[in-house]
Amino acid sequence: MSTRVPESLRTQIDTFDRRSCCYCLTSEAVSGIPLTYDHITPASRGGLTTFDNVCLACRTCNEFKTTTIRAVDPLTQEFAPLFHPRQQHWQDHFAWSPEGTKLEGTTAIGRATVVALRMNHALIVAARRRWCAVGWHPPAIEPKRG
């Protein structure tokens, strides 16, 4: 199901999310990976097309997320909700690996999100390795907002 995001809302989201994926922090300018407007709670599950429920996501995160709202935490084997970029702070749930190429979930929410969105698949890790080599990665973590 495709839900149109009005231009005024797109502009607000683009500015707030700094043209970066709210899940893996991949910058469109650095990666060249197109960003999409993601319904955090999918429209098919009742999510509204509002600022509180739409964020920028790279195509990879968005495509793997599909209509998923929770996933199994690989540590506890229990279901956990996926990370909600408008209600939670990225740095409370994720950290970069020491070499800066892999995302590590630091909570059940973070771990479940990393697995569900396949945030460390081989192609993106290889790209991050190249970005690290030239100083473009990992991205600076912004102070907590909201």
Cα–Cα distance, 28 to 30 (Å, whole number): 6
* Residue linked to tokens 């970005």: 131
**pLDDT value of residue 1:** 43
| Among 109, 26, 27, residue whose Cα is nearest residue 74 | 109
Which of the four pLDDT bands, split at 50, 70 and 90, describes residue 144? Answer: low
Give the C-alpha separation, 16 to 56, whole Å: 9
Give the integer Cα–Cα distance in Å for 96 and 21: 15
Q: Lowest-pLDDT range, 26-35, 91-100, 124-133?
A: 26-35
Q: How far apart are CA 8 and CA 15, in angstroms?
A: 11
32 touches 127 (CB < 8 A): no
Eight-state DSSP code of residue 41:
S
d(CA 54, CA 57): 9
Cα distance between residue 36 and residue 92, in whole Å? 24
The average pLDDT across 20-34 equals 93
User: What whole-number distance in Å separates Cα of residue 53 and Cα of residue 3?
Assistant: 12
Whole-number percent of the chain with pLDDT over 70: 95
* Nearest-angstrom CA–CA distance, 73 and 134: 33
| DSSP category for residue 87 | T
Q: What is the pLDDT of residue 141?
A: 77
- pLDDT band for position 2 (50/70/90)? low
DSSP class of 55: E
